[in-house]
Structure 1
Amino acid sequence: MLSRISSTVGLLLLALALTLPVLALLASWSQFDAAAREVLAEMSRTVLPDYTVTSVVLCLSVALGVAVVGMATASAVTLFDFPGRRVFEWALLLPLAMPAYVVAYAYTDFLQFSGPLQVWMRESFGLRGRVFPEIRNTPGAVWVFTFSLYPYVYLLARTALTERAAQLMEAARLLGAPLSRRIREVALPLARPAVAAGVALALMETLADFGVASYFGIQTFTAGIYKAWLSMDMPLAAAQLATMLLALVALLLWLERRAQQRMRFASLRGQRAGSADAQPVPLSGGRSALAWLACALPILFGFVLPVLFMLRPLIGGWEELPWTSFVQWAGNSVRLAAISAAAATVLALVLAFAVRTRPGPLTRGVVQLAGLGYAVPGAVIVVGLLLPVGWAQKAFPDGSIGYWVTATVMGIVWAYLVRFTAVALQSAQSGYARIPASLDDSARMLGTTGAALAARVHWPLLRRTTAAAALLVFVDVMKELPATLVLRPFNSDTLAVVAYQLARDERLGEAALPALTLVLVGLVPVIMLSRTLRQR
């Protein structure tokens, strides 16, 4: 009885810790007095219309871009057979390794007025002034986000098409439907829920982005939150903007969950349809070249060119690179990532074990709250953690609360756990799903329960899953920018923060080294994902 009570209390405390940022934002509206009303009215007259219009235009444009690119590439590698298709199946995932802000730095360095391309064209053709339009604007951000985030749509649409489209298209072919009609009336409707889910995920990343918006000078909600808090010293305005951003993300999350449910429904409906021996349609000539270009161009724009653009200043200034500082930045990144990965993995295993052994409403509720953390933007987490610190400072004027949250690794690791425990939890739950319940029953019959059951029965079967969960969290923490930028302790700059600061100071050549290091780290989960898809 005592152990059950202690476990219940522990789950409640864990739920409170993981939901504190959201709860703090909601609690801030309880202080909506005349001053808060005046701040909101002033923002409505000045910056709020720009934030809203820019965010909506950006989201609509990115949604269209990732839907077209992701669906085109998924259809090409799934429904058709052409030279290089097997390579494109995994290569189309490569942009996932590129943080969007790194892509923004790379294109800016190469295409800006003083960049090598415009300088060469002016010298070669005697041109004057700007040859290409400025890339640091909303259309440039749409380009960056489209080719950085289309793999979300590609991956989900490819999965949906692989499971059912080939068989149903084969059945339609046997009924006499031409290829264009089979694509229009069979493949596209079948993949529509997957495309909607992928677009929702891409838009959540777009709204949560800070690096591209800040570097390009785009007035989005995330950039406005940081400007209100750091530049204008207006925590109340930052909280109000963060609440609006959280509402938009909640809407996208609801749309994504609804699309996922429709995907499962479509899969169940199509289980008995088609032939198991259906094969992709072979292409030749112009159609083969068109499919090849449709797959090659996204890889070129989203991965190959940004890497080449970053390698140019890196190789040219190799002797001047700050290797001593780089070792320190990398050490800080690895230290924070290792601590966060270990803590998130332990929490995920505890929650997954609790659901396995005591699947009650409380346990399931805590697990659902932990799973929602990945959808909360880093800017919202920052405001949600710093607001309680400000309130606590009034009760403890000595500053002890603020010290532990802002001057140690406690605050930044807390933010990482809120955001990335969901990543480890998903892996842990998938690992537990492969362990038969009969093993638990046999262990209990032999007198093994509680922690002994987890240590002696579950752990040997979860080692690979646990390692994968820790690795995924490690990589996500290495690339995370918004929360790290504000909550990192003094003299603890990470690779992501340094890359952002150097690029902001127009020192793009020096930013290439930490940026490319993040790309190399990001390749690890991409390789893991591509291997998993090939095994399936």
Structure 2
Amino acid sequence: MAAAARLNRFRGWLPGRTLSLAVLAATLCAAPVLAVAWIALTGETGDYLRHLAGTRLPTYLATSAAVALIAAAGSGLIGTGLGWLMARTDFFGRRTLGWVLILPLAVPAYVAAYAWLDLSHAGGPLQAMTGGLFPTIRGSWGAGLMFALVLYPYVYLLARNAFAAQSADAYNAARTLGAGPLHAFWRTSLPMARPAIAAGLALVVMESLADYGTVSHLGAPTLSIGLIRAWSGAGSLVDAARLSLVLVLVAIFIFGLERAQRSRARNINAAGRHKPAPRLPLTGLTALAAFLACLLPLLLGMIIPLGRLGWLALRTEAASGLAAASLHSLTLAGVTALIAAALGLGTAYALRSRTTIAILAARAAGLGYAVPGAVAAVGVIALLSGTQALIDPAWRALTGEVFPILLTSTGAALVLAYLSRFAAAAISPAETALARVTPSLDGAARTLGATPRRRVWQIHWPLIAAGVTSAGLLVFVEVLKELPATMILRPFNYDTLAIIAHNFASDERLGEAALPSLLIPLVALLPMIFVARYLSRQDR
């Protein structure tokens, strides 16, 4: 009876067979990772990896750890501080700043790195203004700083929501017992927000480890550098897969730590209610200080870098092929975003069934976001190459010819790699949006004789449209910024804005790199504004 009831509830909630979409999303995200693991564990060790283990690998590991720690420390400090200001204080401009502070996510870290290195290198404007005292932004600390300035919104968003949801009871009790404001915050508010902050920091660390453009430009050799060199330089799929497996294991370890931290969170209230913490009104100098504190990361992470690149772009003739690269970027991002939004919505509907398959599929899909782009690309190559090897013998026996090369180095392979990494990013916003569709709404519609299709279009869709659109736009922005996966899988003479910008910057031709670098955040800014306003709609 229980199984039948669950099945009926499952059919009642789902508009069609959305469980298949959840399974498809899980397959797209998990298959490349499994292919990487298979190649890494079964392939023969090449000379490159042996050489690397005795020479550069310790440097790659140490630099990766240093960059991740600096990025986590910087983004944690900025994001937590801003989150508390937005959630617990009130001052002029707070509501606008609440969503504007999310916009640096539209700026790729490598774009900020291009601008800041140009500003701070020997003979640059900042060196000239300070008489050579301003440090050159490069190396591990420079890369970590760039990540902190553009990725702090991950921590800010989660910290803001955590602080806003807290009860004032614990903080007031600490103040009643004689604790000062800072001490009460440290002993009550911060520990309760720690799981949310840890989740944001995990995203920052994983994004830092996944990056290639920033660490390459600033001279901070991380594991991503080694992976790209193993594939493009040594041409060894097995060695690239083994370095990819190291990155995957690190990502899983970080993901596990974040899950463990979250599982320790407890929000207990015997009555089931809590008194919301009042906002502290700021006036005069304190309000000005809060406003400037919010403005500083915007200046450093978005306004100054984009301003510098705009100034360079105006002084340099535009490079050829920019229109085609823009079209390629928009096409890849648009197609991936549409597919990811559909998969995310299907997975969100499937999760409403609470069946084991749906839950496992969602968790498998969620792992994809922890996988660096270079790993996803190597996984797609391994997956398609393995499929090719399985088909070839039978095809040769039938036709006497080799089976046509599968989708490697095509736009389809790129979309597959993007989906394996970013499809998970569309699940959570879609699930949150779908939570607005309550059982009573569906029950009332069924009572009035509405068909399942009519319920979806006339009741569900108006409630979930903004959330699903936000999910697709998030994926659109992420694909626009993606560099390592595109470098590995792109077809010949198929450039994107990120590729053109990277190629020019690698050749120290920053004038030519300025315009494509500037176009990426400018194109991403409009969808990011929509996403930021949607995420901040309850911050009133």
Choose the corresponding residue for 2:318, options 316, 321, 332.
321
Call closer, same or farther: CA 1:442–1:283 in 2, change over 3 Å: closer
Call closer, same or farther: CA 1:14–1:63 in 2, change over 3 Å: closer
Alpha-carbon contact 2:374-2:488 (below 8 Å) kept: no
In the alignment, what sits opposite 2:333? 337
Give the Cα–Cα distance (whole angstroms) in 2 for the partners of residues 188 and 302 of structure 1.
25
Give the Cα–Cα distance (whole angstroms) in 2 for the partners of residues 72 and 466 of structure 1.
30
In the alignment, what sits opposite 2:111? 102
In the alignment, what sits opposite 1:278? 278
In the alignment, what sits opposite 2:54? 45
In the alignment, what sits opposite 2:408? 405
Alpha-carbon contact 1:165-1:187 (below 8 Å) kept: no
The superposition leaves residues 133-160 of structure 1 with CA deviations (integer Å, 9 ceiling, x where unpaired) of 5433112112211211222222211221
Give the Cα–Cα distance (whole angstroms) in 2 for the partners of residues 133 and 490 of structure 1.
39
In the alignment, what sits opposite 1:150? 152
In the alignment, what sits opposite 2:77? 68
In the alignment, what sits opposite 1:90? 99
Instruction: Report matched runs for 1:394-433 at 5 Å.
Output: 394-395=389-390, 396=392, 400=403, 402-406=405-409, 408-433=410-435
The superposition leaves residues 387-410 of structure 1 with CA deviations (integer Å, 9 ceiling, x where unpaired) of 23333454538675644232x321
Give the Cα–Cα distance (whole angstroms) in 1 for the partners of residues 198 and 453 of structure 2.
42
Give the Cα–Cα distance (whole angstroms) in 2 for the partners of residues 269 and 525 of structure 1.
42
Call closer, same or farther: CA 1:460–1:284 in 2, change over 3 Å: closer
Instruction: Report matched runs for 1:103-502 at 5 Å.
Output: 103-118=112-127, 120=128, 132-164=134-166, 168-263=170-265, 265-266=266-267, 272-273=273-274, 275-276=275-276, 278-280=278-280, 282=282, 284-285=284-285, 290-317=289-316, 320-322=317-319, 325-356=321-352, 358-395=353-390, 396=392, 400=403, 402-406=405-409, 408-441=410-443, 454=456, 458-459=460-461, 461-502=463-504
Question: In terms of mean alpha carbon deviation, does 390-399 or 485-494 score higher?
Answer: 390-399
Structure 2 letter corresponding to 1:327: A
Matched, 1:19 2:18: no
Q: CA deviation at 1:379?
A: 0.9
Name the structure, 1 or 2, with higher relative contact order (CA <8 Å, separation 6+). 2
Question: In terms of mean alpha carbon deviation, does 195-204 or 223-232 score higher?
Answer: 195-204
Q: CA deviation at 1:24?
A: 0.6
Q: CA deviation at 1:528?
A: 2.7
Alpha-carbon contact 1:25-1:384 (below 8 Å) kept: yes
Give the Cα–Cα distance (whole angstroms) in 2 for the partners of residues 321 and 240 of structure 1.
40
Call closer, same or farther: CA 1:254–1:389 in 2, change over 3 Å: same
Structure 2 letter corresponding to 1:57: A
Give the Cα–Cα distance (whole angstroms) in 1 for the partners of residues 439 and 246 of structure 2.
43
Call closer, same or farther: CA 1:526–1:7 in 2, change over 3 Å: closer
Call closer, same or farther: CA 1:104–1:166 in 2, change over 3 Å: farther
Call closer, same or farther: CA 1:373–1:289 in 2, change over 3 Å: same
Give the Cα–Cα distance (whole angstroms) in 1 for the partners of residues 322 and 45 of structure 2.
44
Structure 2 letter corresponding to 1:18: C
The two structures have a TM-score, normalised by structure 2, of 0.85
Question: In terms of mean alpha carbon deviation, does 511-520 or 447-456 score higher?
Answer: 447-456
Give the Cα–Cα distance (whole angstroms) in 2 for the partners of residues 83 and 456 of structure 1.
39
Alpha-carbon contact 1:166-1:280 (below 8 Å) kept: no
Alpha-carbon contact 1:98-1:148 (below 8 Å) kept: yes
Structure 2 letter corresponding to 1:278: P
Give the Cα–Cα distance (whole angstroms) in 1 for the partners of residues 529 and 19 of structure 2.
39
**Partner secondary structure for residue 404 of structure 1:** coil
Alpha-carbon contact 2:473-2:531 (below 8 Å) kept: no
Alpha-carbon contact 1:393-1:399 (below 8 Å) kept: no
Percent of aligned positions with the same letter in both sequences? 39
- RMSD value, Cα: 3.2
Give the Cα–Cα distance (whole angstroms) in 2 for the partners of residues 59 and 197 of structure 1.
14
Give the Cα–Cα distance (whole angstroms) in 2 for the partners of residues 456 and 131 of structure 1.
63
Q: CA deviation at 1:14?
A: 5.3
| More helix, by proportion | 1
Alpha-carbon contact 1:164-1:267 (below 8 Å) kept: no
Q: CA deviation at 1:82?
A: 4.9
Structure 2 letter corresponding to 1:48: L
**Partner secondary structure for residue 196 of structure 2:** helix
5+ residue gaps, structure 1: none
Q: CA deviation at 1:187?
A: 2.6
5+ residue gaps, structure 2: 1-6, 12-16
Give the Cα–Cα distance (whole angstroms) in 1 for the partners of residues 20 and 349 of structure 2.
16
Structure 1 letter corresponding to 2:313: L
Give the Cα–Cα distance (whole angstroms) in 1 for the partners of residues 168 and 100 of structure 2.
22
Q: CA deviation at 1:330?
A: 1.3
Give the Cα–Cα distance (whole angstroms) in 1 for the partners of residues 468 and 201 of structure 2.
29
The superposition leaves residues 91-124 of structure 1 with CA deviations (integer Å, 9 ceiling, x where unpaired) of 3323222110110011112222353444x459xx
Give the Cα–Cα distance (whole angstroms) in 2 for the partners of residues 87 and 351 of structure 1.
33
Give the Cα–Cα distance (whole angstroms) in 1 for the partners of residues 39 and 416 of structure 2.
20
Give the Cα–Cα distance (whole angstroms) in 1 for the partners of residues 450 and 30 of structure 2.
34
Structure 2 letter corresponding to 1:192: R
Call closer, same or farther: CA 1:151–1:14 in 2, change over 3 Å: closer
Alpha-carbon contact 1:101-1:212 (below 8 Å) kept: yes
Alpha-carbon contact 2:166-2:277 (below 8 Å) kept: no
Q: CA deviation at 1:188?
A: 2.5
Structure 2 letter corresponding to 1:511: A
Call closer, same or farther: CA 1:295–1:465 in 2, change over 3 Å: closer
Alpha-carbon contact 1:165-1:186 (below 8 Å) kept: no
Call closer, same or farther: CA 1:158–1:463 in 2, change over 3 Å: closer
In the alignment, what sits opposite 2:4? none
